């Protein structure tokens, strides 16, 4: 049987190649089979279509594996973030409770001794001290009181409950406060209810 040489996936009898092609193939120092006009035949020229499809399938499988790993990492990151956020909220709440417990203790003591032989003035003074202690604890947690009286009315911050005629304030200036407003870390958590002059 005559030897055959593959060229671009086509079988050609070696006798049909001629002496020049055989000599060029022998003199090729690259170790790659010689192609037309003595040029080296690359792997792409001789790779069957099935191997190309297999390569595409391998690439697809690799990309799919990368996608699955990325999705798993993202899911783990999402769960970890939710868990860390819950831990932060729980820790912050715990710290605030620790700040408020001494105030609660003082209120308990004040309630227990309200019928004892102490003057009304002393009782009021004790309650005022507890109030100051509470406000200081809330301020450390980031709570701020919104000053409103004498300030221009701002519908983004203030809730107007009524208007009154005022000789002390110009029109559009807040003359009174029906309910205090507060901010927490720079964000309004309760809008103050105000009385606006006209």
Domain CATH for 163: 2.30.22.10
Q: Same domain for 116 and 84?
A: yes
pLDDT at 24: 47
Domain span at residue 172? 144-198
Among candidate residues 96, 111, 141, the one where a domain is terminated: 141
Q: Residue 10: phi, psi to the nearest 5?
A: -115, 130
Spell out the per-residue pLDDT of the chain, length 198, in tens.
Answer: 444 444 444 454 544 444 544 444 444 444 444 444 444 444 455 444 444 566 888 888 889 999 999 999 999 999 999 999 998 888 888 888 999 999 999 998 888 776 666 677 888 888 899 999 999 999 998 999 999 998 999 999 999 999 998 888 888 899 999 999 999 988 999 999 999 998
**What's the CA gap between 90 and 189, in Å, rounded?**
20
Among candidate residues 141, 163, 181, the one where a domain is terminated: 141
pLDDT at 168: 84
Count of structural domains, the chain = 3
Q: Same domain for 148 and 132?
A: no
Q: Same domain for 36 and 68?
A: no
Q: Same domain for 110 and 149?
A: no
Q: Same domain for 39 and 60?
A: no
Q: Same domain for 53 and 135?
A: yes
**What's the CA gap between 143 and 141, in Å, rounded?**
6
pLDDT at 59: 87
DSSP state of 33: P
- pTM of the entire structure? 0.53
Q: Same domain for 106 and 159?
A: no
Q: Same domain for 129 and 154?
A: no
Category of 38 on φ-ψ map: left (φ > 0), alpha (ψ -120 to 50) or beta:
left
Q: Same domain for 193 and 122?
A: no
């Amino acid at each position: 049987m005559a030897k055959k040489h593959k060229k671009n996936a086509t079988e050609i009898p070696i006798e049909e190649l001629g002496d020049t092609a055989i000599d060029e193939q022998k003199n090729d120092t690259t170790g790659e089979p010689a192609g037309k006009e003595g040029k080296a035949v690359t792997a792409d020229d001789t790779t069957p279509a099935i191997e190309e499809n297999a390569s595409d399938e391998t690439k697809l499988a690799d990309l799919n594996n990368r996608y699955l790993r990325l999705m798993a990492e993202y899911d783990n990151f999402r769960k970890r973030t939710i868990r860390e956020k819950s831990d932060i909220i729980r820790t912050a709440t715990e710290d605030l409770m620790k700040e408020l417990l001494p105030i609660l203790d003082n209120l308990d003591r004040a309630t227990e001794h309200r019928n004892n032989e102490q003057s009304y003035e002393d009782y009021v003074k004790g309650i005022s001290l507890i109030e100051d202690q509470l406000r200081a604890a809330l301020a450390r947690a980031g709570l701020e009181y919104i000053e409103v009286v004498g300030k221009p009315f701002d519908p983004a911050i203030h809730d107007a409950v009524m208007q009154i005629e005022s000789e002390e304030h110009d029109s559009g200036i807040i003359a009174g406060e029906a309910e205090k407003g507060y901010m927490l870390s720079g964000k309004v958590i309760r809008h103050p209810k105000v009385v606006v002059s006209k």
